[in-house]
A = this chain, B = another copy of it.
């Protein structure tokens, strides 16, 4: 369970959801603007008041470390769990997290302050066992790991059952890229190449393409251009300026370039597949 960015009120949304607080162990912050990090201290406080003991890891731009530690010392000094700050170099693409099934890399972005996105990749998984074939050949459970690892199975009479008969191919590893906030970066397409789901900010519509450049934000059409050039499977756009009364304008402009685009909506769930 990962959290990416933590604006004001995040703890309230989390409480309204069915997500277990303790399963959240990693929070990734893209940049030090309030709408992306002002909920962090409240979240940490609430976890503390609820008696959390499991450590919480915060990955955030290095520039945030000094103030964050002062805030923790002042506001969150009496809780029973550790909050570990991992300073992130937002100028490089590098792996900053790894466990047995996932890696997380930074994606350098261009915003008014140090800012990066995050790229989540599943590691390749093992093939699936074909249970009916295991039963058919009466293969003991003790052999499952060997067969998943690619071995054939030799029957008592010496017959070799080929591995391909006993397994189905592994699921292809999935990838999710989160890019917020950023000026349009054509070179992003290489970094997020062929991910299953790309979240890309779309603050503006075509009418404000100059403003987008000036304020280091993107238009919906620019987000879709990255998605198209990267040949991603799905694009999710969000972070819309309040100047637009109807987000469907942004959706429409994005879909003209990349049809498989969806609007990020409050509390909506999306599958990475």
A residues touching B (Cβ–Cβ < 8 Å)? 8-9, 11-12, 32-34, 38-39, 41-42, 45, 67, 70-71, 74-75
A138 to chain B, nearest CB (A): 56
Closest to A68 in B: B74
Copies in the assembly, this chain: 2
Most buried by B among A8, A11, A12: A8
Distance between Cα atoms of A33 and B75 in the complex (Å): 7
Contact of A71 among B8, B9, B11, B67 (CB under 8 A): B67
Say whether B34 contacts A42, CB under 8 Å: yes
Chain B residues closer than 8 Å to A75, beta-carbon distance: 32-34
Given contacts A70-B67, A71-B71, contact A41 B34 (CB under 8 A): yes
Closest to A67 in B: B74
Chain B residues closer than 8 Å to A9, beta-carbon distance: 8-9, 12
Distance between Cα atoms of A39 and B9 in the complex (Å): 9
Distance between Cα atoms of A42 and B7 in the complex (Å): 9
Chain B residues closer than 8 Å to A41, beta-carbon distance: 34, 38
| Residue contacts A-B, CB under 8 angstroms, 6 given | A8-B9, A8-B12, A34-B75, A38-B38, A38-B45, A70-B70
Chain B residues closer than 8 Å to A32, beta-carbon distance: 74-75
